[in-house]
Amino acid sequence: MMVESASETIRSAPSGQNGVGSISGQADGSGGGAGAAGSGGTGRDSAAGADSNGEMSPAELLHFQQQQALQVARQFLLQQASGLSSPGNNDSKQSASAVQVPVSVAMMSPQMLTPQQMQQILSPPQLQALLQQQQALMLQQLQEYYKKQQEQLHLQLLTQQQQAGKQQPKEALGNKQLAFQQQLLQMQQLQQQHLLNLQRQGLVSLQPSQASGPLQTLPQAVCPTDLPQLWKGEGAPGQPAEDSVKQEGLDLTGSATTATSFAAPPKVSPPLSHHTLPNGQPTVLTPRRDSSSHEETPGSHPLYGHGECKWPGCETLCEDLGQFIKHLNTEHALDDRSTAQCRVQMQVVQQLEIQLAKESERLQAMMAHLHMRPSEPKPFSQPVTISAADSFPDGLVHPPTSAAAPVTPLRPPGLSSASLHSGGPARRRSSDKFCSPISSELAQNHEFYKNADVRPPFTYASLIRQAILETPDRQLTLNEIYNWFTRMFAYFRRNTATWKNAVRHNLSLHKCFVRVENVKGAVWTVDEREYQKRRPPKMTGSPTLVKNMISGLSYGALNASYQAALAESSFPLLSSPGVLNPGSAGSLLPLSHDEVGAPVEPLPSNGSSSPPRLSPPQYSHQVQVKEEPAEAEEDRRPGPPLGPPNPSTAGPPEDRDLEEELPGEELS
C-alpha cells in the first residue's frame, strides 16, 4: 500500500551555474560599423602606400612577415625531417626536396638588413612592391613544396597500403595509415596556417584587390600564433624581432591563451566597446566569468592581464588597471588603426570558426568511419566524449556540430536560446515535437540539467518516457517518475505541485503511457508505438516541419535517434538522404546506452499505421486502459522482468487490438 511518501525535495537548486554570460560581445557592431565607414578600411589599407603617418613601418612588417615565414618553413622542415622518419619510411628524396624551401625562403629573407635599414633604403611603395613580390614568390614556392610533400605522402600511403594489403596484418596497416594521415594532416595544417598568414598580411598591408586576388582562393585557416606578429607589425613598431621569433612556430601551447580568447567570442568583450569607458573603475568593467583565462581578478579587464595591455600586438606594461585604462583610451582609441585591428580580429575569429567547422566536420567523418562501420553496428557505447566543438557551446558556425555537447555546458547545445528562459511557462518544448532523442541529449547534458536550474527543453511526455525507458524493466511507479525528475533536473526540485500535476496529467492524457497494475501497485509503461505515432502526422504533412526538425534540433540528437531508427528503416519519412546529412551523420554522438535499446525500436508496424490521422480524435481510451491491467500484466510483465522488456516487443498483438479498438484519442 502506502506508496512511500514522495519525499519532495523542495530544496532550491544549486543554481549557481546558470550564469549565461552576457552574449553581448558583438565587436561586429562597432567594429563592423566603423569598418563599414569605408574610410577606415581603405584608408588603412592604403596606409602602406600613401598614408605615411609613421605609425607603422612597412619595412618592419615586411621583416616580421619574412622572419615568420622563414621560421615556419624551418619548423616545417624540422618536423618533416623528424616526422617522416617516424613512420619508418624515411627516404632521401624528401630531405632533398625539403631543402628547397628554406633556401628559397632564406633567399627572400632580408636577414642582413634591419627593418630600419630597409626602410631607409626603400620608399614605402617600393617596400610594398617588394613585399608583394616576395609574398607571391614565397607563396608559390611553398605551394609547390607542399604539393610535392603531399604527393609523396600520398604515394607512400598508397604503397604502404598495397604492401600491407599483401602481407601485413590489418592493425599494422592501420597504424601506418594513421601515421601518414597524421603527417598529411599536419602538413595541411601548416600549409593552411602559412597561407592564411600570408593572406592576413595581405589583408592588412595590401590593397584588397591586390592581395585577395590570388590568396582568397587558397584554403584558409588560422594560426593564432601568427597574430602577434601581425599585430606587432602594425601596432608596435619598436618590438624587437626576436619576439616574433619566439612566438612563432606551431607551438600551440604557447598560443593557447590567445587561441581560446580568440575562439570564444561570447566571452571576449569587444575591444572597441571599452573605449567608452570613462575611467578605470573596476566596478564598471565587464563582469565576465571567464574562468579559462588568466585575468580572473575581480577588477580585471579583458584586455589587461599580467600587468600588460593585451591589445593585440601591444603588450605595453601598465602598473595597474587605472593606468591601463588610461593607456587604452589613449593608445587604442577609436581611430583607423584600432578599427582596422578590430576588423582583423573579427576576421581572425571568423577564420577560427571556419576552421573549427572544418575540423569538426573532419572529426565527425572520422568518427563516422571509426564507429559506424557497417560490419559492426556499434551501439554507441562510448562515454560522453568531448568533441572538438565542445569548447564552443554556442554561437559558432559549425552547423552540423551544434549538437556537440560539453560535458557540463553552460548551455546545452540542444537548447535553443529560447528554451533557456527558464522563467515563466515554457511552452513548446522542442524535443517531443521532433521526436528528439532526449536520451542522447540527456546523456550529454546530464550534469548540466542536474545542476542548473534550467528547464529542460523536453515535453513532459518525452521526459516521462525517458524516465521509464531508462529503467531495466521499463516501468515505473508514479513516485519513481517523480524521483527521476527531481534526480535528473534541478529545475524539478521546485514547483513540485505544478510539474507533478503535469506529469500525472500527461500520463493520463497520452495514450502512449500505459498504466499497468502491479503487485506492488500500479506502474507506468510506455507504448512506444503510440509514442511514435504521435509525430508522423506533422512531419508528413509539412515538409517544412522536417526541415525545421533538422535545423532546429540538436543535430547530434537527431542523428542519434534517427540513425538507429533508419537502421531499421522504420521511418520512411526520414530515410530520405536529405534528412540525414551523410557527411556529418554518425557524428559525435555518444548515444546513451539507453537510447540504443529503448526508443530505437520504432516498430515496423509504425509504417502500416502510418497514415497520420489529422482528424480530431474521438475520446475513448481511458476505458481501454483501465481494462488493460489484467491482460497487460500477463503480456507485459512475463515472469522474468528482464525478458523482453520493451513494451513494443510484447506489444504488437496487444497494440494491434488497441489500435483497432481505438481509432483515435488524444483530446487535448
Partner DNA sequence: CGTAGAGTAAACAGAT
Partner DNA sequence: GATCTGTTTACTCTAC
Interface residues toward DNA, by CB under 7 A: 1-3, 5-6, 418, 425-429, 432-433, 458-461, 477-479, 482, 495, 497-499, 501-502, 504-509, 515, 521-522, 524, 534, 537-538, 542, 544-545, 548, 614, 616, 619, 622-623, 625-626, 666-668
> What are the DSSP calls for 521-548, one per residue?
EEEEEE-HHHHHHTSHHHHHH-HHHHHH
- Shortest CA distance to 187 belongs to which of 161, 141, 153, 225? 153
Please tell me the distance from the alpha carbon of residue 201 to that of residue 232, in angstroms, as a whole number.
12
Residue 64 or 460: the one with the smaller Cβ distance to DNA is 460
Q: Is 285 or 558 the residue whose CB approaches DNA more closely?
A: 558
State which residue, 170 or 427, has the beta carbon closest to DNA. 427
DSSP element (H, E) containing 516: strand 513-518
What DSSP string describes 297-356?
STT-BTTEETTEE-STTT--B-SSHHHHHHHHHHHT-SSHHHHHHHHHHHHHHHHHHHHH
Q: Residue 630 half-sphere exposure, CB side, CA atoms within 13 Å?
A: 3
Q: Which is nearer to DNA, 354 or 545 (CB)?
A: 545
Secondary structure of 16-80 as H, E, C letters: HHHCCCCCCCCHHHHHHHHHHCCHHHHHHHHHCCCCCCCCCCHHHHHHHHHHHHHHHHHHHHHHH
CB of 528 to DNA, least distance (A): 15
Q: Based on CB atoms, which residue is closest to DNA, 274 or 429? A: 429
What is the spatial distance between Cα 82 and Cα 92, in angstroms, rounded to a whole number?
A: 12
Q: How many residues does the chain have?
A: 668
Residue 503 C-beta: closest distance to DNA, Å: 9
Nearer to DNA, 369 or 626 (CB): 626
Taking the least distance from each CB to DNA, the nearer of 74 and 534 is: 534
Distance from C-alpha of 328 to C-alpha of 341, rounded to nearest angstrom: 14
Name the minimum Å distance from CB 494 to DNA: 11
Q: How far is the CB of 565 from DNA (least distance, A)?
A: 18
CB 402 within 8 A of CB 413: yes
State in angstroms the smallest separation of the CB of 452 from DNA: 17
Other CB atoms closer than 10 Å to residue 4's CB: what's the count? 7
Q: Are 374 and 563 in contact (CB under 8 A)?
A: no
Residue 21 CB, shortest distance to DNA, in Å, is: 23
Q: How far is the CB of 51 from DNA (least distance, A)?
A: 50
Kindly list the distances between the CA atom of residue 580 and the CA atoms of 362, 390, 561, 562, 566, in Å, as whole numbers in the listed order: 17, 22, 11, 8, 10
Q: How far is the CB of 482 from DNA (least distance, A)?
A: 7
For residue 420, the minimal CB distance to DNA (Å) is 13
350/540 with CB nearer DNA: 540
Of residues 567 and 614, the one with the C-beta less far from DNA: 614
Three-class secondary structure of residue 14 per DSSP: coil
The CB-side HSE value for 194 (13 A sphere, CA atoms) comes to 29
